[in-house]
C-alpha cells in the first residue's frame, strides 16, 4: 500500500502510482487510461510529466480507446532507452505485445484483474442523461467517501455544484456488475487465468477487506508478480510502500477475486440491448434490466429445467439468492425435493425460502437419498464447474443440470 495521499487518489492501494512515479522519475513515459475533457469517454494517453499523472489514476469502468498509443509506444521504444510503463486491461497489454512483435528491455507492463468493460457508447449516453445538459466537472467510479469497500460508489459532479452518487444498486453499477452491458468478449475472456500478459497484475485485495490487519478503509492492493521484470519493478517500489506489505498465498487472492480465474457470466445482455434498441433511451433500458434481471434469470432457469428434466424431481445445489429466485416458480417448487449444501448450519437447521421450509443435505447424504430418476440442479453459475466436479468425484449417477 502506498501512503494515504496516494491511496486517496487511487482505486485500491495505489500501486499503479508508485510504479508510475518511479518510471517518470527515471525520465520515462507512462501510458494509461484517462477521461476525455468532457468525461463522456476514456482513452489511453502517454504522459511524461508527473503533473499529469492524476489523469491516469483511478479505475474508469468503461472501455478505453487505445487510439494510436501502440504505434507511439513503438516509436518511443525504438528511438530512446527511456523506460515506458503501459497499464491496461490484460487484452490491451497483450495487444501491445502483438503490435510490437517483440519485448523491449525498457518496456514494463501492468495488467489488472478485469471484471470486463462496458460499452463507451452507453456510458456517454448515461452521463449525458445524468448531467441533464450541465457540464460535467468530475467523475469518480471509485469514490472513497465511504471508504474502500467491495460496494462501489460512483460520483459525478456538475458545473452548477450539484453531485450525483450511485452505489452498487444504482442503474449503471447493477448493469455493469451483473454483466448486462459488457463487451461480448468479456464473458469469454482469454485472460482470466494465471497466464497474464503483464509483468505485474494489480487489483483490489478483497481477501483482506474487513480484516483490520489488511484493511484500514483507505484501500489495499493485490499485486501479482508475473516475471523477472515485474519483480525488478516491484523491488524498486518496495522502499516507497510505507504501510503494510505482506506476501500472501495465491489461493487467498483467488478466493475473493474470482475474476482472476474466471470471466463473469453474461446476464440479461441480450434483453438489455433489445430493450435499448426498442426505446432508444439509456435510462429506460437500464431501469428495465435492473428490475427484470431476476425475472429473466428465473424464466431461463425454469425453461431449462422443464426442457431437460420434464416430470422429474430435482435436488438443488444453491440455496442463496438465485435459488430463492428460482423457487418462486410453482413448477420448480413442486419438483423440488431438498437443497444440497456443504454448509453444516444449513444442514442442521434447513432453510426457509419464500415461506417454505426445505431440508438441506450434505452432498454424500443427498446422493444416498436420490433415486436414479432424480435430477441435480446446480444453481451457482460462477462455481458450477467446481460443484459439478465435486459431484462427479462422488460418482453421482444422476443427471446434472448446470444453470447459466
Ligand X SMILES: Cc1cc2nc3c(=O)[nH]c(=O)nc-3n(C[C@H](O)[C@H](O)[C@H](O)COP(=O)(O)OP(=O)(O)OC[C@H]3O[C@@H](n4cnc5c(N)ncnc54)[C@H](O)[C@@H]3O)c2cc1C
Contact positions vs ligand X (CB under 6 A):
10-17, 32-33, 42, 56-62, 64, 87-89, 112-115, 117, 202-204, 219, 221, 257, 259
Least gap, CB of 219 to ligand X (angstroms): 6
E strands present in 66-220: 84-88, 107-112, 136-140, 153-158, 163-167, 200-204
What residue 16 binds from ligand SF4, ligand X, none (CB within 5 to 8 A, per partner kind)? ligand X
Give the one residue of 69, 107, 117, 337 binding ligand SF4; rule: CB under 6 A: 117
Return the number of the residue (20 or 114) whose C-beta is nearest ligand SF4. 114
Return the number of the residue (91 or 136) whose C-beta is nearest ligand SF4. 91
For 196, 255, 390, the CA distances from 190, given in Å and listed in that order, are 10, 19, 25
Helix (H, G, I), strand (E, B) or coil at 168: coil
Helix (H, G, I), strand (E, B) or coil at 360: strand
- The answer to whether 70 and 63 have CB atoms below 8 angstroms apart is no
Give the one residue of 116, 197, 198, 323 binding ligand SF4; rule: CB under 6 A: 116
Instruction: Please give the span between the terminal C-alpha atoms of the chain, in angstroms, as a whole number.
Output: 37
Across the strands, what pairs with 110?
Answer: 87, 200
What residue 189 binds from ligand X, ligand SF4, none (CB within 5 to 8 A, per partner kind)? ligand SF4
Cβ neighbors of 139 (< 8 A, separation 6 or more) are: 35, 39, 60, 127, 154, 155, 156, 157
What residue 290 binds from ligand SF4, ligand X, none (CB within 5 to 8 A, per partner kind)? none
Return the number of the residue (63 or 143) whose C-beta is nearest ligand SF4. 63
CB-based closest residue to ligand X: 32
Q: Considering the rule CB under 6 A, would residue 98 count as an interface residue with ligand SF4?
A: no
Q: Which of residues 118-157 bind ligand SF4 (CB under 6 A)?
A: none
Least gap, CB of 269 to ligand X (angstroms): 16
Rounded CA separation 15/221 (Å): 7
What residue 22 binds from ligand SF4, ligand X, none (CB within 5 to 8 A, per partner kind)? none
250: exposed, middle or buried (Cβ count in 10 Å: 0-12, 13-18, 19+)? exposed
Give the one residue of 9, 72, 134, 183 binding ligand SF4; rule: CB under 6 A: 183
Q: Pairing relation of β-strands 351-353 and 356-358?
A: antiparallel
Q: Which of residues 204-233 bind ligand SF4 (CB under 6 A)?
A: none
Residues of this chain that bind ligand SF4 (CB under 6 A): 89-91, 114, 116-117, 183, 185-186, 189, 191
Amino acid at each position: 500500500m502506498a501512503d494515504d495521499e496516494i491511496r486517496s487518489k487511487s482505486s485500491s492501494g495505489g500501486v499503479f502510482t508508485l510504479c508510475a512515479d518511479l518510471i517518470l522519475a527515471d525520465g520515462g513515459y507512462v501510458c494509461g487510461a484517462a477521461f476525455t475533457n468532457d468525461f463522456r469517454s476514456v482513452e489511453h494517453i502517454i504522459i511524461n510529466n508527473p503533473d499529469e499523472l492524476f489523469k491516469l489514476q483511478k479505475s474508469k469502468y468503461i472501455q478505453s480507446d487505445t487510439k494510436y498509443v501502440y504505434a507511439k509506444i513503438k516509436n518511443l521504444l525504438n528511438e530512446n532507452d527511456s523506460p515506458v510503463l503501459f497499464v491496461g486491461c490484460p487484452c490491451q497489454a497483450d495487444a501491445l505485445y502483438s503490435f510490437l512483435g517483440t519485448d523491449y528491455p525498457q518496456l514494463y507492463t501492468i495488467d489488472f484483474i478485469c471484471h470486463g468493460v462496458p460499452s463507451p457508447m452507453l456510458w456517454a449516453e448515461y452521463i449525458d442523461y445524468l448531467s441533464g445538459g450541465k457540464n460535467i466537472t468530475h467523475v469518480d467510479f471509485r469514490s472513497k467517501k465511504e471508504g474502500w469497500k467491495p460496494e462501489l460508489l460512483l460520483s459525478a459532479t456538475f458545473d452548477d455544484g450539484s453531485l450525483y452518487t450511485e452505489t452498487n444498486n444504482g442503474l449503471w453499477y447493477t448493469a455493469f456488475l451483473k454483466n448486462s452491458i459488457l463487451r461480448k468478449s468479456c464473458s469469454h475472456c482469454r485472460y482470466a487465468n494465471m497466464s497474464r500478459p503483464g509483468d505485474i497484475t494489480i487489483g483490489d485485495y478483497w481477501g483482506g477487506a474487513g480484516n483490520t490487519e489488511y484493511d484500514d478503509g483507505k484501500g489495499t492492493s493485490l499485486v501479482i508478480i508475473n516475471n523477472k521484470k515485474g519483480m525488478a519493478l516491484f523491488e524498486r517500489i518496495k522502499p516507497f510502500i510505507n504501510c503494510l506489505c505482506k506476501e500472501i498465498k495465491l489461493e487467498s487472492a483467488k478466493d475473493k477475486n474470482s475474476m482472476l480465474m474466471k470471466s463473469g457470466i453474461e446476464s440479461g445482455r441480450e434483453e438489455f440491448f433489445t430493450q435499448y434498441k426498442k426505446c432508444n433511451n439509456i435510462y429506460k433500458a437500464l431501469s428495465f434490466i435492473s428490475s427484470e434481471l431476476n425475472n429473466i434469470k428465473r424464466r431461463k432457469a425454469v425453461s431449462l429445467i422443464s426442457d431437460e428434466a420434464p416430470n422429474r424431481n430435482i435436488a438443488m445445489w444453491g440455496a442463496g439468492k438465485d435459488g430463492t429466485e428460482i423457487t418462486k416458480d410453482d413448477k420448480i417448487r413442486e419438483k423440488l425435493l431438498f437443497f444440497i449444501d456443504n454448509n453444516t448450519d444449513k444442514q442442521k437447521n434447513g432453510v426457509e425460502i419464500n415461506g417454505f421450509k426445505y431440508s438441506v443435505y450434505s452432498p454424500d447424504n443427498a446422493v444416498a437419498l436420490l433415486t436414479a430418476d432424480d435430477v441435480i440442479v446446480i444453481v451457482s453459475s460462477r462455481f458450477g464447474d467446481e460443484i459439478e466436479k465435486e459431484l462427479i468425484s462422488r460418482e453421482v449417477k444422476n443427471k446434472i443440470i448446470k444453470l447459466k
